[in-house]
Amino acid sequence: MTRRPLQAVLFDMDGTLVDTERLWWEAVERVAAGLGRTLGADDQPEVLGRPVEHTAGWLASLTGAPAAGLAAALHGEFAERVRDGVVPRPGALGLLDALAREGIPTALVTASPRAVADTVLEVLGAARFAVSVTADDTEHTKPAPDPYLAACRALGVDPAGCVAVEDTPTGVASAEAAGCAVLAVPSLAPIEPAPGRTVLASLEDATPERLRSLLPYELRVMSWNLWLGGSMVDDHRAKQLKAVLETGADVVGLQETGGTAAQELAEALGWHHHRAGENLGVISRYPITARFGDPDVRFYGAAGVRLRVGPGCEVDVWTAHLDYTPYGPYESAFDGLPATELIAHEEVRLAQMRDTLRRIDESATDGVPLVLVGDFNCPSHLDWPDVAWPVTKAAEEAGLRDSYREAHPDPVRHPGHTWSPIHVLHEDGSGRPEPQDRIDYVLHRGLAVLDSRTVVVGSPSAWPDVAANDWPSDHAAVVTTFAVHRRS
C-alpha cells in the first residue's frame, strides 16, 4: 500500500508556532476580570483557538456587556501583549527551515485577525510561508474547515496530502474536518491521539520525515460480480486478471465466483484469498488475519475478512450478494408499480442486508474501519428521489456511507450505472430498453474517500454476442480509493 506524498504543511499560529495562546488567555482573563468574572479551566473551550468575536460574544452572554465593546477590548489587550511578548515555540523555526530545505510549502492558518497575524509574521519571517489565512479571510473560521480548505486552495494542494500542526481541540477539529492529517502539540488544553492524529510534546520532536509518516495510506477496493465466474466470455480468467491489474486494486470483493475464481485469481496474482461457498470471495494483496461469516454460505449472503494493510492499519472487508428477484427497476419501468409496492417487494433483500449487518457487528472491533462491497440487486435511495429503497437505507442507518455518492453527489450528472454494460435491450425479445441502474456498491464506515469510479474495460458487445468481449462480466465494477490511517 502506498502512502500519500506530503504536499504541504499547514501551521496554526497561536500556541503552535508562537507562544501567544498564553498571551490570549491572559488578555481574556484581564477583560473578564474587569467584568467581575474569574476564568477557570472549564472556560478554555470558549477561549483557546477561538476568534475574538466568538470569545467576545461568549463573555457578553455571561456578563451582559456589549459584544462589540468586548471585542475591541480583547483586541487591544491581546495586541499589546503580542507587540511585547511574541516568542517562537521551541523547534518551530527549525522545523520551518527544514521544510523549506526540502521544498515543502507551508501555510499559516490562524483564527486571529490579519493585523495580529502580520505582527507575528514579522517575528517568524513572512517569507517562510507561501500563504497565510486569517479570521478575516473566510466567512467561517475554526472549528469550521474553511480556513484549512482556503489554504489548500491557495496552495493548489489536496487536504488529504497535507499535515496540519495545531495546539487546541478547536484547531484540530477544523483541520480534521478539512481532511488533513494532524500533528497536535498541545499548549494549554489536552488533546488525545486518534486515527489520523498524532500528539507530540514539542515541535522539537517533529521533522519532515516524521510529518510524512502521518499521512494516510491509500487502499483501493474493488467490487465485482464475475457473472457466473466469467464463463460466458472466452479466456475469461486472463481477462479478469488484466482488469484487476489495470484498476490498481489492492483488494477485490467478488460475487458469482463460480467456486474457484477467488483462489485461481489470487494464486495468479500472488495474493491472499478467502473463499465462501460457491459464490463469494475476497482477494487481497495484503495478508488476511481473520475470516468472518459462514464459510459455506449459499449463493446469496455475505462473507468478510480482516486485512493487515500496514503497520498499525487493519481494515475489515465484506462482500455481499443479495437476491435478484423481484427486481425493482423492472417493476418500476415495465409494470409501473408505485413506490409503496416497490419498497414492499424488497423484503427478501432487506432481510439479507440486515443479516449481513448483524454479522458485521458481531465481528467488528473498535477502531477497525469497515468496507462492505457487493451486488445488492437493488437501486439506492440516494439515486431515486421518489423511492426510499430500504436496503441501502438500512446500510446507511447502520453508519455505512456510499463511497461513490460521496465522490459524485449528483446522481443525474454521475449516475454510476453498473447494470448493465452488455444489456441494452431487455432479454425477453420485446425490444424494450433495459433499465440501467446502480446496483453494485462500495460502502464504508470509518474511512475517507479519495476517489470512486465505475470500471468497464473496452467497449463490450451487447448480449448475446459477448464471447469475445474484453470485459468478462455483465456488471460494471466499482473501484474506490480510501485513505487509511494508522490506529493510534
Buried b (16+ CB within 10 A) or exposed e, 450-470: bebbbbbbeebbebeebeebe
Distance CA 155, CA 103 (A): 13
Contact 107, 133 (CB under 8 A): yes
Cα-based distances in Å from 175 to 59, 113, 132: 26, 18, 15
Q: Judging by beta carbons within 10 Å of its beta carbon (0-12, 13-18, 19+), is residue 374 exposed, middle or buried?
A: buried
Give the H/E segment covering residue 28: helix 21-34
Instruction: Select from 455, 478, 324, 325 the least CA-distant residue to 402.
Output: 478
Concatenating the DSSP letter of every residue in 384-406 gives -TT---HHHHHHHHTT-EEHHHH
Distance CA 378, CA 324 (A): 8
Give the H/E segment covering residue 240: helix 236-247
Distance CA 388, CA 5 (A): 41
Task: Check if 437 is active-site.
Answer: no
Concatenating the DSSP letter of every residue in 32-93 gives HHHTT----GGGGGGTTT--HHHHHHHHHHHH---HHHHHHHHHHHHHHHHHHH--BPTTHH
* Order of strands, sheet of 162-166, starting from the edge strand that comes earlier in the sequence: 131-133, 106-109, 8-11, 162-166, 181-184, 197-199
Active site residues: 12
